[in-house]
Amino acid sequence: MSRFDFTHPPFDCLSAAERDTLEASADIVCYGDDEQIMAPGVPVDTLFVVLKGLVREMAGDEVIAVYRERDAFDARALVAGHTAHRFVVHEEALVYALPRATLLALTEQNARFGAFFYASVSQKFGALAERSGNREWQTLLTARVRDVYAKKPLFLDGEDSVLDAARLMKQHKAKSILVRHGRRVGIFTTSDFRDLIIDGTPPDTSLGTLCRFDLICSELDDYLFNALLTMTQQNIQRVVVTESGTPVGILEQVDLLSYFSNHSHLIAQRLEQADSLDELADIAAQITRLVEILTGHGVRAVQLGRLVQTLNARLFERSWQLLAPAELIANSCLLVMGSEGRGEQILKTDQDNALILRDGYTCPELESVCQAFSDALARFGYPPCPGRIMVNNPDWRLSESAMRDRLYHWVYLPDRDAQLNLAIFVDAEAVAGNAALLERCQDYLQQLLRDDDSFYHRFARAIEQFDTPLGLFAQLLTRQQDGQAMLDLKKGGIFPVVHGVRALALQYGLKERNTFERLARLAESGRLDKELAGDVAEALSFLLQLRLGQGLAALAEGRPSGNLISPARLSTMERDLLKDALGVVKRFKTMLRHHFRLGSL
């Protein structure tokens, strides 16, 4: 009978009968401005859905979420039976009150619906990620013919002539066509033309008399690997793709090989064997394609980040080897910093890199080699870093002792960029040459910082630079761009998390570079609440995923990938999760503020 609209998450996964059950148990409640709906210490027995008005969720005096029409609050509190936050009406609200008992019964009955009511956000995100093929090598083995085969088949009739076939194949740039002849289906390929010339067959001969009917087929749902095996065993260049035995198209060996060639192991192998920058440029483009393919297979941003980091590191190393003389390589350490060092740069966004030279070593060609390296990276698609944090900038190719001086200055005599420079240096990872040079510099930095609490205070303060775009009057605070409301994922969510975790990692002297590994280590050692660490990791993973998705879409449209997303273009579920993720970011910031005493000073 559906009185109210239950077509939005999480209610959209309920069956019609389940919706009726829920609706039959629901009441409507009207609250005036500033009335309190839920509060700590009062048992929670109701899930509220806003019909009209605004409700804000408060942690102390801070607004951490705002609920408006169609938003439900609060799933976590409902499962826990209590809440740590106050839910206060911001603007006269009519809400739907759904009783706990009915909801919990439904969560047991309907797993997808239940996923929304798990106690922690972390599990909620996990439910979203319930996708197959999480590990990259699996996609190679589990890819199906369906995944590659996309072309519409070309069909001709058995009565049509050879000439018709030639024209059609030219028009569609096809190497083969299928021929319907009576009840049978045959195949006619380019190599058949060769035989026609040799035999002197006239062009008006009907296809039905020439094509072959002994088709070698692969079913649409068969593994791609099997199709490859078939082609190899039979020494043929294509198989006919069938669906339940009916031919629906042709899978060309070329398509199949290009699919496999975008595979990371093969890319890695090509990297090893590459001996020119041209070849490396080619491979760099292939890495981006790999990202597209794997994203399509549901591989998540976090795993992709690590995979791409490995490949990029080899790409950098190989380029460096091609450009730099062996002596320079042995006497220096090439490092990548920032997101590339953390393994969180999936699409090429900037080239933060530097070179540390052994004390006393000089190389006459140093400048030209470094310039060539930066140019090569630009050619590979890495936009030059706007802050010029690149080896072609003399400020970022230093001897070990000069690097130490630099670190000392950053810590004790900080100038405007000191914090930023330190931040990206903390994430540095060696990719070529003598890694000990970097290690010694990082140890030195740790020594400098030992027991200097005021430093961490200054360092962590950067998280306050940008407000998390989850505000009082709208769920998602956005800024206008070309008439579209935009939200900056990096400033609003990714940066505070990455930097906050970095500050903690620095304070506790962690060796890990990757934010997720740092979080895991912090939770393991009891430095960070386990549940919060889990929530933060999931929130960051979601934000990275979102940025990757929109970055790929931007690349497909020929625009540079950026950090701005338009919430209006997200699905309701994504928008919900984004809100949750930003809520977690706020919680984490509150914790950091307390930890580093950012309120004081």
Partner 1 sequence: MLARWQRRLAVRQLKDPAYRRLFEETSDDMISLACNTTSLDVAEAELLTIGAVRLSGNRIVTSEALDLLVKPGRPLTRERVGAHGLRPRDLSDGLDAEEAVRRLLDFIGGRPVLGYYLEFDIAVLDKYLRPLLGIGLPNRQIEISGRYYDYKLRQQPNSRVDLHLAALIDDLGVPALPRHDALNKAITAAMLYLALKRRGFG
Residues that bind partner 1 (CB under 8 A): 2-5, 23-32, 51-53, 92, 94, 97, 99
Secondary structure class of 434 (helix, strand, coil) = coil
Distance CA 591, CA 28 (A): 36
Helix and strand numbers (H, E) in the chain are 26, 19
**Minimum Å distance from CB 108 to partner 1?**
20
**Minimum Å distance from CB 29 to partner 1?**
5
Distance CA 311, CA 304 (A): 11
Residue closer to partner 1 by CB (options 29, 363) is 29
**Minimum Å distance from CB 43 to partner 1?**
17
Residue closer to partner 1 by CB (options 47, 519) is 47
Residue closer to partner 1 by CB (options 89, 539) is 89
Distance CA 288, CA 555 (A): 10
Residue closer to partner 1 by CB (options 99, 126) is 99
Residue closer to partner 1 by CB (options 24, 553) is 24
Kindly list the strands in the beta sheet with 332-336, ordered across the sheet, starting from the edge strand earlier in the chain.
397-399, 353-357, 332-336, 429-433
Secondary structure class of 601 (helix, strand, coil) = coil
Nearest to 499 by CA among 387, 302, 342: 342
**Minimum Å distance from CB 143 to partner 1?**
45
Residue closer to partner 1 by CB (options 23, 400) is 23
Residues in Cβ contact with 137 at an 8 Å cutoff, skipping those fewer than 6 apart: 265
**Minimum Å distance from CB 288 to partner 1?**
47
Residue closer to partner 1 by CB (options 97, 435) is 97
Residue closer to partner 1 by CB (options 3, 409) is 3
**Minimum Å distance from CB 100 to partner 1?**
13
**Minimum Å distance from CB 5 to partner 1?**
7
> Do 376 and 390 meet the contact criterion of CB atoms below 8 Å apart?
no
Tokens of 401: 């002792």
**Minimum Å distance from CB 15 to partner 1?**
19
Distance CA 432, CA 334 (A): 5
The CA-based dihedral angle spanning residues 395, 401, 405, 411, taken in that order and rounded to the nearest 10 degrees: 100
Nearest to 389 by CA among 416, 424, 352: 352
Q: How far is CA 547 from its chain centroid?
A: 6
